[in-house]
Structures are given as structure tokens and as C-alpha cells.
Amino acid sequence: MSLTVFRKAHFNAAHRLFKKEWDDDKNFKVFGKCSNPNYHGHNYELEIGISGEIDPDTGFLIDLKVLAQIIKEEVEDPFDHKNLNIEVPEFKNTNPTVENIAIVIWNKMRARIDSKYDISVKLYETPRNFVIYNGN
């Protein structure tokens, strides 16, 4: 019997979407308001899903206290109230789109979660825009 447990988290962060080879006009055409040279913020909402088997001893799939601590260390502490372009090394040369942020989060979680579990990352950049990445 396989099922999925979810833990929600939240962070506020600033970013700018741009290609440095393009001028501000071209960046605005492609990335819109998210290319503002002075950065802007989003309230990111995150749902981490962990899929696997229930441990018959505990009835847990995974200890949610442990999962919450890993999300804090890997996502909330390094991303919350940060400028993603400037302060998060993963985005030094990668546009911090919601797609790329979800992939970075998935990779960081994968490094910390036992390989017997599957991981999914659902990340909202706005209440209406979100992505789901599960490593495929």
C-alpha cells in the first residue's frame, strides 16, 4: 500500500528574470514585470509530497517532524527573505523562474530523503501560477 504525505511551507523571496545578453526592452518583452531591473518579490507556497510505504511499527510513512526540519534547512532558511539571484548560489547563472526553483528544491530534498521514497515538489509563485516537479 503506497500513499503520499504532504508538508506545506512558505517563503518570501525577491528575484529578477532576465538574460544578461539582452537589453531591458527585450527582457521586458519576454519576462514582463518579472524582468524589473530593481527586483520584486513573490510569496511562494510550497507543497512537498513524499510517497512510499507505511512503516508497520509506527503507522507513519515518514516522520513529519523530520520532514519539516529538512524543509526548513534546505528551503526556508536559505530562500526566505532572500534575493534569489544574488544570495542563492544555485541561481547565480540560472534564471529563478518558478520552474527552476522547483527543480532546485527537488534536488535539495532528494539529497536528504531516503531513496526508498519518491518526492514531488509543488511550488506556487502566485495563487494562480504553479508547477509540479517529481524528478522526471
Q: Which is nearer to Ni ion, 34 or 75 (CB)?
A: 34
Residue 53 a catalytic site member: no
Residue 42 a catalytic site member: no
Residue least distant from Ni ion (Cβ): 34
Q: Which is nearer to Ni ion, 34 or 101 (CB)?
A: 34
Grid cell listed for 132? 509540479
The pair phi, psi for residue 2, each rounded to 5°, is: -110, 135
Q: Binding of Ni ion at residue 102 (CB under 5 A)?
A: no
Residue 47 a catalytic site member: no
Q: Given strand 40-53, what is the order of strands in its sheet? A: 82-83, 2-15, 40-53, 118-124, 130-133
Q: Binding of Ni ion at residue 34 (CB under 5 A)?
A: yes
Catalytic residue among 15, 34, 42, 74: 34
Listed in sequence order, the residues at least 6 apart from 31 whose beta carbon sits closer than 8 Å to its beta carbon are 17, 18
Q: Residue numbers of the site for Ni ion (CB under 5 A)?
A: 34
